[in-house]
Chain A
Amino acid sequence: SSVAIAIHGGAGTLSPDDMTDAQRAEYISTLQTAVTEGYKVLLAGEPGEAAVIRAIQIMEMSPLFNAGIGAVYTFDGEHELDASIMNGRELNAGAVSGVKTIKSPIMAAYRVMTESPHVMLSAEGAEAFARQQALEMVDNTLFNTQRRYEALQKAKARMQSETSAVEWRQGNERFG
């Protein structure tokens, strides 16, 4: 049968003024690489999971997107990552949430789906499972970027100026 792929790198209040032509070209180039590499995997007849992982890992390793390297910071100045994957054949699924030292969260989610009886593992438990699966573990600082660190400072400044938690509605940061 024919194959097809779609990818996203996040949504939000994006304005052409927010980025230079060079930055825009970088986004376009990375999206092009991710969608093309995933498509090649499909053309080779490999299972859809391999294509999804290939495309997402390219974006996890890019500092441009809020996933893996380039992830936003938590209030405490760390990175807590989440990921999930689902196959439409037997509705099988895997997910990890709140992980800090797994280099590729989408790969961890895939292993939860294929190597465990569970659908979702979280935090330290998910990390212990990833180590048992011999997935690559890294220091949380691997995911640091200056741009996201500055975004954290701005968000914290706004949080302090808001009068109540209810009114504190995040700006663009609320988008995944």
Chain B
Amino acid sequence: TVGAVVLDKQGNLVAGTSTGGMTAKRFGRIGDSPIIGAGTYADNTSCAVSATGHGEYFIRYHVASDICARMKYAKMSLHDAANTVIHDVLLPAGGTGGVIAIDAGGNVAMPFNTSGMYRASIDKHGNVSIGIYK
């Protein structure tokens, strides 16, 4: 699975995700990537999120929109909302994976509860970061 989240010059947040899904999948199995609210979500009043991981859990826990809702209604920061959902909600339930997220201030969060996630970002100051492992 691959994904991107951006803040553009007009102040809009956009999220996108694309995937081949799960190895050896059968019976038309669909994961979270094409499900708006689960693997992809964007709302200018909170954040944009793209997810990757065990899709069934990301659907059941509507991970992408949950992160944005915590910002919108619980007034959590992007970092706290994303880390809470990935580490305190999803992992105890057995869901593994991670997200990339960005907010209207151009802040970036990339939490994951597995040993690695291919990720890269360029923040509002132009700082580049690229990582694979924890």
- List A residues at the B interface (Cβ < 8 Å): 1-16, 24, 27-28, 31-32, 34-36, 38-39, 42, 45-49, 51-53, 55-56, 59-60, 65-68, 70-76, 79-89, 91, 93, 95-98, 105-106, 109-110, 119-120, 122-123, 143, 148, 151-152, 155-156, 159, 170, 173-176
CB contact between B24 and one of A28, A38, A159 (< 8 Å): that residue = A159
Whether A13 touches B6, Cβ cut-off 8 Å, given contacts A85-B15, A176-B53, is no
A35 touches B122 (CB 8 A): yes
A55, B16: Cα distance in complex, Å: 10
A46, B12: Cα distance in complex, Å: 11
A12 touches B40 (CB 8 A): no
Main secondary structure of the interface of A (DSSP, over half): mixed
> Nearest-CB distance from B133 to chain A (Å)?
6
Residue of B52, B107, B112, B122 contacting most chain A CB atoms (<10 Å): B122
Q: How many residues of B contact A (CB 8 A)?
A: 78
A8 touches B50 (CB 8 A): yes
A32 touches B130 (CB 8 A): yes
Name the A residues within 8 Å of B15 (CB-CB): 52, 85-86, 88
Name the A residues within 8 Å of B115 (CB-CB): 12-15
A82 touches B25 (CB 8 A): no
B2 touches A86 (CB 8 A): no
CB contact between A72 and one of B18, B23, B97 (< 8 Å): that residue = B23
Main secondary structure of the interface of B (DSSP, over half): strand
Query: In the complex, what residue of chain A is closest to B27 when comparing beta carbons?
Result: A75
Query: In the complex, what residue of chain A is closest to B103 when comparing beta carbons?
Result: A4
A28, B120: Cα distance in complex, Å: 9
- Find residues 93-134 in chain B having any chain A CB closer than 8 Å to their own CB: 96-102, 106-108, 110, 112, 114-125, 128, 130, 132-133
Closest 10 CB pairs of A and B: A71-B20, A14-B116, A9-B118, A173-B23, A48-B14, A176-B1, A88-B13, A48-B8, A88-B42, A2-B124
A48, B15: Cα distance in complex, Å: 8
B7 touches A4 (CB 8 A): yes
Residue of A15, A74, A86 contacting most chain B CB atoms (<10 Å): A86
A155 touches B23 (CB 8 A): yes
> Nearest-CB distance from A144 to chain B (Å)?
11
A82 touches B33 (CB 8 A): yes
A170, B23: Cα distance in complex, Å: 9
